[in-house]
Amino acid sequence: MKRFITLILALAIICTTAFAHPFNDVASHWAEPEISAAYEKGIVEGDGTGSFRPDDNISRAEFLKIVTVLIESNFDLTVPDVENSRHWADKYYAFATSSYLYPNRELSYDGVSPAYMNLDSYDLPIKRWEMAYILDSVFANVYMAIGGGEPSINDFEAIKSTYDTSIVKSIQSLVGFEIVKGDEKGNFNAGNTGTRAEAIALGWKSSKPHAKYAPGKMLFGGIYLNEDGLLPSAPGRIWYETDINYYSGRRNGHRILFSNDGLMFVSYDHCGT
């Protein structure tokens, strides 16, 4: 199958004829540039035998980790460990659901609820509809950008008749942003499983991402954990951060920090003081 996903989030892709990776099974693969860049950034590893297996299915946990690590890298964050972890993905899931991802346990497709994961479902293959749901959550809750328009995919009517409006909106949004496209026949194939190569190709393009997808807007960093305690705390208080004085290129350290109960501060050294 030709490239299913054409753009990435938070990966700087350098397209050259020689790629720096140790894998013996990705030469001339459509996703080789993305896989190479991801390897250089420490986002992905092989299977221990020299292979990457780009066309193998990818699990829900593996996809969530890739998306979350890209956010971690792009925003200079650290995903904290969690106590009493029972799965390696616990910390990524805890971080995601506390910052940008909102599981919907009222829905269920293919035996799973959108973005709801636990020990029994982490390692299930992820379907393309859920990849779209998670990625759209990143755009909406991190970049504060929402796509729209009538998707140019041939199976959109079938998608609308099968999935909840929240799933339909996610697919519509990503197609509108040109983050995903259809296959050779122009179909999105929402019920198909995603591959390791497709997962790597999902991410943010680090070169002016918000200027491309949300022109005229600032970056919204989501929940600010206030781990150093510099901001005043109170029961039920949640802090958020957003960029200021930034329009493209490498981000500066200028931030506005605001709380859900009306407090607001400005920092010019990325919340250092």
pLDDT digits 0-9 by tens, 203-212: 543 333 555 5
Does the pLDDT at position 112 exceed 70? yes
Does the pLDDT at position 1 exceed 60? no
For residues 230-255, give the mean pLDDT: 74
Handedness of CA 81, 87, 89, 93 (dihedral sign): negative
For residues 156-177, give the mean pLDDT: 90
Question: Between 114 and 39, whose confidence is greater?
Answer: 114
In the three-class reduction of DSSP (H, G, I as helix; E, B as strand; rest coil), residue 9 is classed as strand
Query: What is the structure's pLDDT at 205?
Result: 39
Report how far apart the first and last C-alpha atoms of the chain are (Å, whole number).
Answer: 51
Query: What is the structure's pLDDT at 250?
Result: 54
Torsion region of 267: left, alpha or beta (phi above 0 gives left; psi -120 to 50 gives alpha): beta
Q: What is the DSSP letter of 165?
A: H
Q: Give the range among 6-15, 34-43, 180-189, 228-237 with minimum mean pLDDT.
A: 6-15
Most confident of 47-61, 156-170, 188-202: 156-170
For residues 93-120, give the mean pLDDT: 94
* Catalytic one of 34, 130, 198, 241: 241
Most confident of 51-60, 115-124, 153-162: 115-124
Q: What percent of the chain has pLDDT over 70?
A: 77
Q: Active-site residue 87, yes or no?
A: no
* Catalytic one of 29, 87, 254, 270: 270
For residues 228-239, give the mean pLDDT: 84
Query: What is the structure's pLDDT at 271?
Result: 66
Helix axes 128-141, 165-176, angle to 10 degrees: 70
pLDDT digits (tens, 9 = 90+) for 68-96: 888 887 777 789 999 999 999 999 999 99
Q: Active-site residue 241, yes or no?
A: yes
